[in-house]
Amino acid sequence: MPIVIDHLSHTYFDGATSVPAVNDVCFEVREGEFLAIIGHTGCGKTTLVQHLNGLLLPSSGRVLVDGLDTADKKQRITLRSLVGMVFQYPEYQLFADTVREDVAFGPRNMKLSEGEIALRVSEAMSMVGLSMERFADKSPFELSGGEKRRAALAGTLAMRPKYLVLDEPMAGLDPQGRQSILGMLENLRQETGCSILMVSHSMEDVARHADRILVMDHGKVQYLDTPKAVFSHSEELEAMGLSLPAPCRVAALLRKRGVDAPADVCTREDLEAYLLGRLKA
């Protein structure tokens, strides 16, 4: 059974003031999919994903992970082994003396044997492209920015989550660093079959990599569909304060000039195929 978000609402309280952050959200996360979550700042994206492993509990509604309810304290302990969370700037989570010890922290808390812990550390570091020989005994604070992010991600992967939730994992990275992390996530999904949920502000990244995109606005789900279907609502997305992928913007400009560019162009490949088709026509 996948993750089920069932009429989830969450309200923050500050003294006598209440601030609704998520309002009556319903959707399911499919097994093995890459689901991107987008929306303007303050729309409820982070609040939403923090419910997926019980960091936050619903004000109303419920969240089920493989049938386990986050509101049940005993079930919450089990489901947290299923949902791995990677926060914005995950390198800030690093704390141990060596990369090996940092990656081992989660498996050790799971009360695994030392042999199993060593296996998982080696496996996770390999997944993120950090060799044991070069990095295991280094201080995590001696690593480059991109290496720190990989080490932090390895600490989550070592727990072998079925669902990997990432909140702006590419924040602050240059384009090469972003593509490196995204390529690693794609490989991870192919190797393990895990589902990936990623909050992102990079429209090009989600257009290229996501199977589906969930668009939030003022705490509610506005769209949940394929990238082509979501970005075909270009005017509505811009009205929400969202930018569009560059190919989508080019297609929109062509349409304004009377060219019959399709509304579902959202990647460079889509745009190139359309333009080449016009040249051959």
Describe the strand order of the beta sheet including 3-14 as a list of residue ranges.
17-29, 3-14, 60-65, 68-69
- pLDDT tens-digit map of 129-188: 899 999 999 999 999 888 888 898 899 999 999 999 999 887 777 788 788 888 888 888
1 has a pLDDT exceeding 70: no
54 has a pLDDT exceeding 80: yes
Axis crossing angle, helix 268-280 with helix 246-256, rounded to the nearest 10: 40
Predicted TM-score (pTM) above 0.85? yes
Pairwise CA distance, residues 200 & 194, whole Å: 19
Contact 137, 99 (CB under 8 A): yes
In the prediction, which pLDDT does 18 show? Answer: 86
Pairwise CA distance, residues 28 & 6, whole Å: 8
Q: Which SS3 state, helix, strand or coil, does residue 268 take?
A: helix
Burial class of 22 by CB neighbour count within 10 A (0 to 12, 13 to 18, 19+): buried
In the prediction, which pLDDT does 89 show? Answer: 77
| Secondary structure (DSSP) of 31-56 | TT-EEEEE-STTSSHHHHHTTTTTSS
- The single residue listed with the structure tokens 């299923």 is 82
Question: Considering only CA atoms, which of 78, 24, 16, 77 is closest in space to residue 48?
Answer: 24
The shares of helix, strand and coil residues in the chain, as percent rounded to the nearest 5, are 45, 25, 35
In the prediction, which pLDDT does 119 show? Answer: 95
pLDDT band at 88 (very low <50, low <70, confident <90, very high): confident
- pLDDT tens-digit map of 196-222: 999 999 899 999 999 999 999 999 999
pLDDT band at 91 (very low <50, low <70, confident <90, very high): confident
Q: Which SS3 state, helix, strand or coil, does residue 130 take?
A: coil
Cβ contacts of 44-48, under 8 Å, gap ≥ 24: 44/10, 44/216, 44/218, 44/219, 44/220, 45/167, 45/199, 45/216, 46/167, 46/199, 47/10, 47/21, 47/22, 48/5, 48/8, 48/22, 48/216
Pairwise CA distance, residues 210 & 203, whole Å: 10
Q: What's the 3-state SS for 86-127? A: ECCCHHHHCCCCCHHHHHHHHHHHCCCCHHHHHHHHHHHHHH
In the prediction, which pLDDT does 90 show? Answer: 75
Which helix (H) or strand (E) is 80 found in, with range?
A: none
Q: Which SS3 state, helix, strand or coil, does residue 64 take?
A: strand
Pairwise CA distance, residues 241 & 151, whole Å: 34
Q: What percent of the chain has pLDDT over 90?
A: 66
